[in-house]
Amino acid sequence: MPNRSFCMGILLPLSMILCFSSSLEADPTTNQVRAAMDRATDFMMNTVALRGGFVWKYALDLKERYGELKARDSMIWVQGGTVSVGLMLVDAYKATGDRKYLEYAGRSADALIWGQLPCGGWHYFIDFDPPGVQPYYDSFFSRCWGWQEYLHYYGNATFDDDVTAHATQFLLRLYNTTLDPKYRRPLLKALDFILEAQYPCGAWPQRFPKTKEFPHHGLPDYTSCYTFNDEVISSNIELLLEAARTLGDDTYDRAARRGMDFYIISQLPRPQAGWAQQYGFDMKPAWGRTFEINTVSAWQTVENIHDLFRFYKATGDRRYLEPIPKALDWLDSASKANKLDEPYTHTCFYELGTNKAIYARRKTPNPQDIRFEVSYDSEGVYPYALRYSFDIEAMRKECERLARLSPDQVRGEYEKSLQGEPMPVGAEQAERLIGLLDERGGWVVENIVLNTDDFENNPPYVFQGYNTKVYVKRMYKLINYLRSMNQ
């Protein structure tokens, strides 16, 4: 019988050689990548999803489910969950030609259509057990500190956080891909709703239709304001431009341009020629949530500048460049007048008239008391939009560059941008993503959920599980890898 220790001595270096040689194998093949995409998607759609819809975060046993807040077992989230998956599945079909992705996208669309409100828009979430929604608001949502948009169940639709715009965009892309008439009716219903909700001035409210009352401790109704905050206006404009291009209806283009023009008429006068997050019907800055101050906002101003760059590229109309130099002058003055620690250049809010940085501070330690007061001192204030680093010079150079181009040239840039510039994904990264799939076909990550009793003074809840955003992001990386292989 051979000496056992001698055999082991031979086998060990052979195994090391085999491991080393396997690391030098060829890059992941199309079949390997597609197999991983299939595993991940089968798991998410057949094990994790609820009737084709998703929340944001799941515990490993799938019993704990979270959207923006903890979800009931019967809930799915629209923005950040179901729509994100649906849009990705359409792109996965286009990249692979595999109709399974289109069928899965149809499941997500069916969930959205089920939850489409009679008005044509969507709420933050869809609950397949409608009678349980109001009791859940009463017992949980309305008691969550810092989520003022969940204090009351309005029963209407929201444009906040791209909810209705992105749901409509998903239906638009799915319809344009399949030409299935079952998607056309809810799509047109949603587009009609967006047109109906637009104010004559071109702006949109945060929520629509307007409710009879705003039952928030006597606070003003910010949901009906002309709202830039959280991409309310910009996401509707982008959607309408896409609808005009793909459906061939100029009605949507005209509505989009009215929305663009609101940027021009709502710019505040010099020397603070920026924008507020939202405006009242008197065209003056208005309060949003009680920590969103009724004044000029550096954050919103920068977002609007970038929107105006896109509008100029989309239209070739130089009117959309004209507000930008004045806005940049104000941003520059605000930075110089309110020195912040490096590398930060700005905070969010600046007082009208004085140009002083201002902040929102809780008035009481009681988590159920949502009152705030304005403070010039940033120490210990509410942690909302406190610090930003904005490159004013880069924005100024971009404005000057665009001004030198002809309308045809900038429209060419816009057309190119519509094709997208997928981030390159290397073989090593693709191989790593494939290897990270667990035995079920899911990507396990660390999830973090804020404490809803009082997140300022309590640590977050951290747990291992599955994350819809991570699934979508990693699927796009594998999609981009496939595209790079086919170039």
Q: Which residues, in sequence order, are bridge partners of residue 227? A: 278
- When the pLDDT of each residue in the chain is averaged and rounded to a whole number, the result is 92
The single-letter code of the amino acid at 362 is R
Residue 35 neighbours by CB distance under 10 Å: 14
CATH class of 4-435+468-485: mainly alpha
Cβ proximity of 117 and 208 under 8 Å: no
Cβ proximity of 480 and 67 under 8 Å: no
Residue 229 is predicted with a pLDDT of 98
Cβ proximity of 151 and 141 under 8 Å: yes
Residue 22 has pLDDT above 60, yes or no: no
Identify the weakest region by mean pLDDT among 8-12, 82-86, 362-366: 8-12
- Kindly state the average pLDDT of the residues 279-287: 97
For residue 11, what pLDDT band results from cuts at 50, 70 and 90?
Answer: very low
Residue 26 is predicted with a pLDDT of 67
- Angle subtended at Cα 232 by Cα 390 and Cα 310, rounded to the nearest 5 degrees: 55
Q: Domain residues of the chain, as ranges?
A: 4-435+468-485
Over residues 413-464, the pLDDT tens digits come to 999 999 877 788 999 999 999 999 999 999 999 999 999 998 988 999 999 9
How many C-alpha atoms does 425 have within 13 Å on its Cβ side? Answer: 24
Cβ proximity of 204 and 197 under 8 Å: yes
For residue 291, what pLDDT band results from cuts at 50, 70 and 90?
Answer: very high
Written as one string, the DSSP assignment of 106-123 is HHHHHHHHHH--TTS---
For residue 152, what pLDDT band results from cuts at 50, 70 and 90?
Answer: confident
Query: Cα(260)–Cα(307) distance, rounded to whole angstroms?
Result: 9
- Kindly state the average pLDDT of the residues 99-122: 98
- Kindly state the average pLDDT of the residues 339-347: 93
Residue 218 neighbours by CB distance under 10 Å: 6
Contact residues for 171 (Cβ-Cβ < 8 A; gap 6+): 109, 112, 113, 183, 186, 187, 190
The CA-atom distances, in angstroms, between 272 and each of 15, 147, 350 are 69, 30, 9
217: left (phi over 0), alpha (psi -120 to 50) or beta: left
Residue 371 is predicted with a pLDDT of 80
Closest CA to 133 of 66, 74, 67, 86: 74
Entry pTM: 0.93
Over residues 170-202, the pLDDT tens digits come to 999 999 999 999 999 999 999 999 999 999 999
Residue 24 has pLDDT above 60, yes or no: no
For residue 17, what pLDDT band results from cuts at 50, 70 and 90?
Answer: very low
Residue 12 is predicted with a pLDDT of 38
For residue 486, what pLDDT band results from cuts at 50, 70 and 90?
Answer: confident
Residue 245 has pLDDT above 60, yes or no: yes
Identify the weakest region by mean pLDDT among 20-29, 122-131, 254-263, 320-329: 20-29
